[in-house]
Amino acid sequence: MRKIAILLSAIAMIASSMVFTSYAQDMTPEEQAAAAVDQRKSLFKTIRYNLGPIAGMAQGAPFDAEVAERNARRIAVMATMIPEMLAVDTSAFDNIETTALDSIWDNQDDIAAKTQALIDNANAFADAAATGEMGATLGAFRAFGGSCGNCHDTYRVDND
Which residues of this chain interact with ligand HEC, rule CB under 6 A?
Answer: 37, 40-41, 44-45, 47-48, 51, 75, 82, 86, 98-100, 104, 111, 114-115, 118, 147-148, 151-152, 155-156
Nearest CB to ligand HEC, comparing residues 16 and 80 = 80
Neighbours of 6 (CB within 10 A): 16
Nearest CB to ligand HEC, comparing residues 101 and 130 = 101
Q: In angstroms, what is the minimal distance from the CB of 149 to ligand HEC? A: 8
Q: In angstroms, what is the minimal distance from the CB of 147 to ligand HEC? A: 6
Nearest CB to ligand HEC, comparing residues 26 and 158 = 158
Q: In angstroms, what is the minimal distance from the CB of 38 to ligand HEC? A: 9
Q: How far is CA 15 from its chain centroid?
A: 18
CA 155, CA 32: separation in Å to the nearest integer? Answer: 21
CA 12, CA 65: separation in Å to the nearest integer? Answer: 26
* Cα maximum dimension of the chain: 52
Q: In angstroms, what is the minimal distance from the CB of 18 to ligand HEC? A: 21
Which residues neighbour 26 within 8 Å (Cβ) at sequence distance 6 or greater? none
Q: In angstroms, what is the minimal distance from the CB of 95 to ligand HEC? A: 14
- Characterize 46-65 residue by residue with b for buried, 16 or more Cβ atoms within 10 angstroms of its Cβ, and e for exposed: ebeebbeebeebbeeeebbb
Nearest CB to ligand HEC, comparing residues 80 and 99 = 99
Nearest CB to ligand HEC, comparing residues 104 and 138 = 104
Number of residues that this document lists for the chain: 160
Instruction: Please give the C-alpha separations between residue 90 and each of 34, 47, 93, 97, 152, in angstroms, as whole numbers.
Output: 8, 21, 7, 10, 17
